[in-house]
Amino acid sequence: MSPGILGKKIGMTQVFRPDGQVVPVTLLKAGPCVVVQRKTPVTDGYDAVQLGLMEFAKAKRTTKAVAGHLKKSGGEGVKFLREFRLKPGDDDLKTGDRVLVDQFKPADKVDVIGVSKGRGFAGLVKRHHFGGGDASHGSMFHRAAGSIGASSYPSRVWPGQLMAGHMGVQRVTVRNLEVIDVDTEDNVLIVKGAVPGPNGGYVLVRRAKR
C-alpha cells in the first residue's frame, strides 16, 4: 500500500449517489507515478520514498543533474517530484516501481495538499478577515488597519503583525476527503469536496493521518 500519489487538479463537478443525493466532487488526474528514490534510515536517516509524476516533459527543460537523478529509476520526463514518509504497514517500494491510482478504493479517506490560488495584493479585511471600522458617514475609518504599535509602548511594530500584503500562493492541506470513485483506465481519482489550487495545479494525495 503506497502512502500517497501525485497528480493534477482537473476541476469540480457533481455526482449522484444511489439514493439521489447530490455530492460535489473534484476530479484529480492521479498518477501514474514512478519511485525515483528510496530513502532508508541507514543511508539518509529516515524512511521515505520520492515519487515523480510521469508527464514526459521535454529533455531540454530538465537540467543535467535532475536528468541523471531520474535516469537511475527510469523516470525520464518527470518534472514534479515529492517525498512521502513511510510508516509500518506501507509497501516496501523500490526504485523504479510504479504507483497507480488503483491503490485507492471508494470510501477511503485522504488528505489533499496543494498551493492555493494567488489573489495578488489584498487589504486587511479581505486577507485576514478584519471587521473594519464604522460604515457611517464621517467615520473616516472603514477598511483601515488601526493601531499597529502604540507610541509609548512598544513604540514599534510587533513581529508577525497582520497587515495588508500578498494573498494566496500558500501550501494548503484539506483533510479527510472521501474517495467517491476511482477510474483506473484514465487514472482519475474522484474525491468529495473542494481541493486547493487552480485547475491544472499539482497536488499531493496522501492517506488520511487523522
Q: What is the pLDDT of residues 79-100, one digit of tens each?
A: 888 888 888 766 678 887 788 8
* Total of domains in the chain: 2
Q: Mean pLDDT of all residues in the chain?
A: 87
**Burial of 183 per CB tally in 10 Å (0-12, 13-18, 19+):** middle
Least confident span in 8-22, 50-64, 99-113, 142-156: 50-64
Residues 24 and 93 in one domain: yes
- For residue 118, the model assigns a pLDDT of 93
| Domain identity same for 58 and 146 | no
| C-alpha cell recorded at residue 103 | 491503490
132: cell is 473594519
Q: Do 99 and 70 have their domain in common?
A: yes
Q: In what order do the strands lie in the sheet with 48-53?
A: 80-85, 48-53, 33-39, 98-99
Confidence of residue 163 (pLDDT cuts 50, 70, 90): very high
* Whether 113 and 146 share a structural domain: no
> 127 with 158, same domain?
yes
- 112 with 126, same domain? no
Residue 115, pLDDT > 90, answer yes
Q: Are residues 101 and 134 in the same domain?
A: no
Strand partners, 51: 35, 82
Q: Residue 62 sits in which domain range?
A: 4-120+171-207
Are 43 and 92 part of one and the same domain? yes
